[in-house]
Structures are given as structure tokens and as C-alpha cells.
Amino acid sequence: MMKMIAATNNSHKLEEIRAILKDKGIEVISLADAGLDIEIEENGDSFMGNALIKAREVFRLTGEAAIADDSGLEVDALKGQPGVKSARYSGESGADKDKKNNEKLKEALKDIPDNERGARFCSAIAAVFPRGKEITAEGYVYGKIGYEEKGEHGFGYDPLFIVDGYGRTMAELDSEEKNKISHRANALKEFVKKLDML
């Protein structure tokens, strides 16, 4: 079984990446499992730029295959915002940041009609392997932003994001459903295809 270090301190992301890649014969370990206690500064100007920064840094520190995801929400009516600043949209960090981010998003869209609330979740995956080989992949899921949070699953903007064709928010889908259709799932499927071609 191939082993990769996930360049994230986000336990939700780690669980999703692990669950999706497990079936592909890839064991994903955490930064802590790899003996790393680090926060990597994400100062790229795109999701892919940030994913590459994280994967390259973990590979540099360990010499082991590393995989990173950078993802976020792009809202049509906000010209693609919050984009790469999705996690820091409200300027908050810590336990309350998801709530504050969602409050700010609802406020920004309060006068936007239903037919103009289109949005997409984007995920960029970057993996760095020994001998310098890199694989990148992207995935998306489309939907619209609701007026109030619904659902108990997921994290981030999931309770506001109504998935096209489902009529439910991402947070109303259980993890099995989400892992089939999410932006991260779609990016990881693309990643696995490219890995298989190697």
C-alpha cells in the first residue's frame, strides 16, 4: 500500500481524503503521524498555488510523498469571492470561524435574488513524490447559496451550499453521499486517474 502524508491540520479534510483514497490502496497519514507540528503559510494567489506550497513543504521536510488540498467557495454574485480567502473570509480564526464566515456570506447576499445565488466549491489537489514528480488535479461541485444554514454534517460553508440536482445542502448529505459528489472527491478522482497513468 502506498503511503502519503496529508499536508493539512484540518481533521475534516484529512478524514475526507483518507476515506476517498483508502479504496485506491493509498494510506494517508496526518502531519502529527509524520512527526510534524507545523502551520504552513498559504500565500498563493490560487487554490492550486496554495496546494503546491503545502505539498512541496511537507515533501521538503520529510522526503516522503505528500498530498495537499486547497479548496474554497466561489460565489457568482460576489465575482468569485470569497475564493482563496474562504477560510479567512470573516477575518476570524478558531472554533467560531465557520459561523462568522457564514454570517458574513449571508449578509453579503441578503439582497441577491434566488436566481443569482449560483456558486461552486473548488478543490485543487497537489501531490509531490520522491524524485521530484508532481501531480495536480482540480474538481468542482456546483450549486447555490441558501438563505439559512441547514444540516448537521460537513463543515465550513456546507450548511449554506445547496447542491445542484439534490435540493439539499452539502451539510444535509451524509459523508458517504458527500464523498461521491464533492469538489474534493472529484479532484481526488482526477488525481487517481493521473496516478494510475504513471
Say whether 153 sits in a helix, a strand or coil.
coil
The CA R_g of the chain, rounded to the nearest whole Å, is 17
Instruction: Tell me how far apart the alpha carbons of residues 65 and 119 are, in angstroms, rounded to a whole number.
Output: 33
Grid coordinates given for 135? 501531480
Place of cell 496526518: 30
Which segments of the chain are extended strands (E)? 2-6, 26-29, 66-75, 118-128, 134-145, 161-163
Say whether 120 sits in a helix, a strand or coil.
strand
Say whether 102 sits in a helix, a strand or coil.
helix
Annotated catalytic residue, options 45, 69, 70, 96: 70
* Cα 96 versus chain centre, distance: 18
Contacts of 170 (CB under 8 A, 6+ apart): 121, 141, 143, 151, 153, 154, 157, 158, 159, 161, 163, 178, 182
Is 70 annotated in the active site?
A: yes
Active centre residues (catalytic): 70
